[in-house]
Structure 1
Amino acid sequence: MTTVENIDTDEAPGGWRGSREGWLLAAREAFVTSGLDAVKIQPLATRLNLSRTSFYWFFKDRAALLDALLDDWEATNTRSLKTAAEAYAETITEAALNLVAVFMEGGPFEAGLDLAVRGWAHQSEDVAARVNAADAERLAAIRAMFERFGFAMAEADVRARTVYLVQIGYISMQVIEDMATRMARIPGYIQTFTGQPPTEAELRRFHAQCGFDGGR
């Protein structure tokens, strides 16, 4: 994951202003690690070693930054899930493995960010509405994946919910599970999700995709 220290800054008259990406990344890190109350302009400026006024070159106010955080969450998590659900696959089991891969450690779906946004939704009706809309969009993408492989709409819907709710359950319960244990369960999960076991070749590709060497 990119860190605040990796972000380049743009020199301007009067000193360093940072960059929009830098401010947003600092806000995301503070939000995920410390909660919404940590996303405030002065603490972020201190974190970035920038002046408070530098913030206003990139965002109108704190509300604009919070809106950008939600946009970033959707771009990071919803987009990565949809991309995986729409990816080429020769079988439904391969398609399901493509989808599960985004949730694995090191995958593009950021579990901590998703958990933080879901916590925020308990405090804001507007955020709750965005979370509900994102969930619906993600489920629709997974449902379409199953329909692409010939599953009837009703069955595709149930299977999509099974896949998605298991993954969100892992996040919401903050399950701690080493990679070898998770990988050992993957064939059973895929058979439950799709009604078919993955082939050995599909599992080998999945392991390679996730950077898993069999626990050696």
Structure 2
Amino acid sequence: MANVRTPRGAWIDAALQAVAAGGPEAVRIEALAASLGVSKGGFYWHFSDRQALLEEMLDCWEKAMVDDVIARVENHPVGPRAKVQHLFDLAPSADFAVELALRDWSRRDKEVGGRLRRVDNRRMDWLRSLFAQFCDGENDVEARSLLAYSLLIGSYFIVALHGDKSRSQMLQLAVDRLLSESWS
């Protein structure tokens, strides 16, 4: 019977789950091997050490949460307003637990902070490119881009009730305002 190796992606997925559950300290080779039901020897087939796994984990997260999201939205042959709406439609299906854990980690680790800054800048640049297609002036583009990004990230921190409206209704109202013709 052939020896089956645990795929590289399985180690990365397990590391992402671990960082979401317990921060970077939870990403331990022995614990990951146990969660995958394998010995830790297979880890070294794919990665030289824990740091190599952490770096590749961050690379994979960035690709999934920036490149893949942008590609999914841009593949829709619609205008910029509809693309922003589609981004917000996709957001509830995203698992932001990893993002929140990485943001917390970035406060204590300069390299992770730099990577998160790059992710934020890439996302903001893309939002600016969308809003610039239908907003007047640099200030309007910047304000709407910042508000959209803050709404996407910040809504996972807010647990307030919204009167007789559901959270999804209020988020849609906020998106509608972001996409409106005028803010006057």
TM-score (norm 1): 0.74
Is 1:100 aligned to 2:85, yes or no? Answer: no
Cα deviations by residue, 1:57-89 (Å, 9 ceiling, x for unpaired): 011100000001111210111124423553432
Letter paired with 2:15: A
Query: CA separation of 1:55/1:187 partners in 2, compared to 1, >3 Å: closer, same or farther?
Result: closer
* 1:87-126 alpha-carbon deviations (Å, 9 max, x no partner): 432462x23211211212x2xx321111011011011101
Q: Distance in 2 between matches of 1:73 and 1:56?
A: 21
- Alignment of 1:167 with 2:167, yes or no, is no
Tell whether 2:110 aligns with 1:121: no
In the alignment, what sits opposite 2:115?
130
Separation in structure 1 between the aligned mates of residue 18 and residue 77 of structure 2, nearest angstrom: 36
Instruction: Give the letter aligned to residue 36 of structure 1.
Output: P
CA contact (8 A) 2:103 2:116 kept: yes
Kept in 2, the 8 Å contact 1:84–1:102? The answer is no
Looking at structure 2, the residues matched to 65 and 166 of structure 1 have their Cα atoms a distance apart, in angstroms, of 31
Contact 1:80 / 1:102 at 8 angstroms: preserved in 2?
A: no
Unaligned runs of 5+ in 1: 1-10, 198-216
Q: Report the CA distance shift for 1:69/1:91 in structure 2 as closer, same or farther (over 3 A).
A: closer
Q: Does 1:17 find its partner at 2:5?
A: yes
State the shift of 1:159 in Å. Answer: 0.6
Deviations 1:129-155 (A, max 9, x none): 110111011011011001123543331
Count of residues paired in the alignment: 178
1:142 paired with 2:97, answer no
Going from structure 1 to structure 2, the CA distance change for 1:84 and 1:47 (only over 3 Å counts) comes to: closer
Are residues 149 and 196 of structure 1, via their aligned partners in 2, closer, same or farther at CA, if it must alter by over 3 Å? closer
Paired residue for 1:89, among 58, 78, 81?
78
Which position in structure 2 is the counterpart of 1:3?
Answer: none
**C-alpha distance in 2, partners of 1:123/1:138?**
22
Which of 157, 168, 183 is matched with 2:168 structurally? 183
- Secondary structure, aligned partner of 2:97: helix
Task: State which of 171, 185, 192 in structure 1 corresponds to 2:177.
Answer: 192
Kindly provide the amino acid, as one letter, of the partner of residue 73 in structure 1.
W
Q: 1:118 to 1:156 in 2, by over 3 A?
A: same
The amino acid of 2:32's aligned partner reads L
Q: Deviations over 1:160-203 (max 9, x none)?
A: 101101111113x16487xx813322442123212249xxxxxx
Letter in structure 2 aligned against 1:88: P
> Which segment drifts farther, 76-85 or 113-122?
76-85
* Larger relative contact order (Cα-Cα within 8 Å, sequence gap ≥ 6): 2
Aligned residue among 28, 42, 67 for 1:40: 28
For 1:176 and 1:72, the matched residues in 2 are separated by 32
Q: 2:132 aligns to what SS in structure 1?
A: helix
Gaps of at least 5 residues in structure 2 are none
Shift of the 112–176 alpha-carbon distance from structure 1 to 2, 3 Å rule, reads farther
1:6-85 to structure 2, matched below 5 A, reads: 11-12=2-3, 16-83=4-71
